[in-house]
Chains A and B, each alone.
Chain A
Amino acid sequence: MSALHAAPLAASAEATPLPSSWHILLSRVLTLCLAELRKVRHDQTELYTRALQPVLWLLIYGETFNKLRAIPTGNIPYLAYLAPGIMAQSALFIAIFYGIQIIWERDAGVLAKLMATPTPRSALVAGKAFASGIRATSQVVVVLILSAILGISLDWNPLHLLAALFLVVIGSAFFCMFSVSLAGLVLKRDRLMGIGQAITMPLFFASNALYPTRLMPGWLQSISTVNPLSYEVDGLRGVLLGTPSNVWLDFTVLAVALVVGVTVASALLPRLAR
Chain B
Amino acid sequence: MIATPATIECENLVHSFGSNRALDGTSFTVYPGEIFGLLGPNGAGKTTTIRILATLLPPDSGIARVAGRDVRHDAMMVRRLLGYVPQQLSADASLTGYENVWLFARLYDVPRAERKDRIQEALVTMGIADSADRMVSTYSGGMVRRLEMAQALVNRPRVLILDEPTVGLDPVARAGVWERVRSLRDELDMTVLLTTHYMEEADALCDRVAMMHRGTIRALGTTDALKAELGADATLDDVFRHFTGDLLDDQGSFRDVRTARRTARRLG
Could you list which residues of chain A lie within 8 angstroms of chain B, going by C-beta atoms? 1, 3-5, 7, 9-10, 12-14, 16, 18-19, 24, 27-28, 31, 34-35, 38-39, 42-43, 107-110, 112-119, 270, 273-274
Contact = CB atoms under 8 A, between A and B. Distances in A.
B108 interface: yes
A116 B190 CA distance: 18
A273 B56 CA distance: 6
B140 interface: no
Contact of B156 (A13, A38, A110): A13
B56 A38 contact: no
A110 B107 contact: no
A117 B95 CA distance: 19
Contacts of B109: 16, 19, 24, 27, 118
Contact of B187 (A1, A14, A27, A31): A1
A172 B129 CA distance: 38
A113 B90 contact: yes
Contacts of A117: 79, 104, 107-108
Nearest to B100: A35
Q: Which of B80, B108, B121, B156 has the most CB of A within 10 A?
A: B156
Contacts of B183: 1
A273 B79 CA distance: 15
A4 B125 contact: yes
A157 to B, nearest CB: 37
Interface in B92-150: 92, 94-96, 99, 103-104, 106-111, 120-122, 124-125, 135, 148
B144 to A, nearest CB: 11
B51 A274 contact: yes
A104 to B, nearest CB: 9
A119 B81 contact: no
A12 B156 contact: yes
B84 A9 contact: no
B90 A7 contact: no
Contacts of A38: 95, 99
B156 A112 contact: no
Interface of B: 32, 51, 54-57, 67, 76, 79-82, 84-90, 92, 94-96, 99, 103-104, 106-111, 120-122, 124-125, 135, 148, 151, 155-158, 183, 187-191, 262, 266
A109 to B, nearest CB: 3
Q: Which of B57, B85, B94, B107 has the most CB of A within 10 A?
A: B107
A207 to B, nearest CB: 32
Given A9-B190, A39-B94, A107-B262, A3 B106 contact: no
B110 A116 contact: no
B157 A13 contact: yes
B86 A118 contact: no
A27 B107 CA distance: 8
B57 A116 contact: no
B17 to A, nearest CB: 8
B99 A116 contact: no
Contact of A112 (B86, B89, B135): B86
B45 to A, nearest CB: 14
A5 B188 contact: yes
A14 B148 CA distance: 21
A108 B267 CA distance: 11
A109 B56 contact: no
A118 B266 contact: no
Nearest to B105: A31
Closest 8 CB pairs of A and B: A109-B90, A109-B88, A109-B86, A116-B84, A31-B106, A12-B156, A118-B79, A117-B107
B120 to A, nearest CB: 8
Given A14-B158, A27-B109, A42-B94, 7 more contacts: A4-B121, A31-B106, A109-B89, A112-B90, A113-B85, A115-B55, A116-B84
Q: Which of A12, A35, A109, A270 has the most CB of B within 10 A?
A: A109
Contact of A14 (B32, B81, B88, B122): B81
Contacts of A4: 121-122, 124-125, 187-188
A118 B124 CA distance: 24
B91 to A, nearest CB: 8
Contacts of A107: 88, 262
A9 B189 contact: yes
B212 to A, nearest CB: 19
Contact of B57 (A7, A10, A24, A274): A274
A238 to B, nearest CB: 37
6 contacts: A4-B187, A7-B121, A16-B109, A117-B104, A119-B107, A274-B57
A118 B187 contact: no
Contact of A13 (B106, B148, B151, B158): B158
Q: Which of A5, A10, A35, A38 has the most CB of B within 10 A?
A: A10
Q: Which of B67, B86, B89 has the most CB of A within 10 A?
A: B86
A109 B167 CA distance: 14
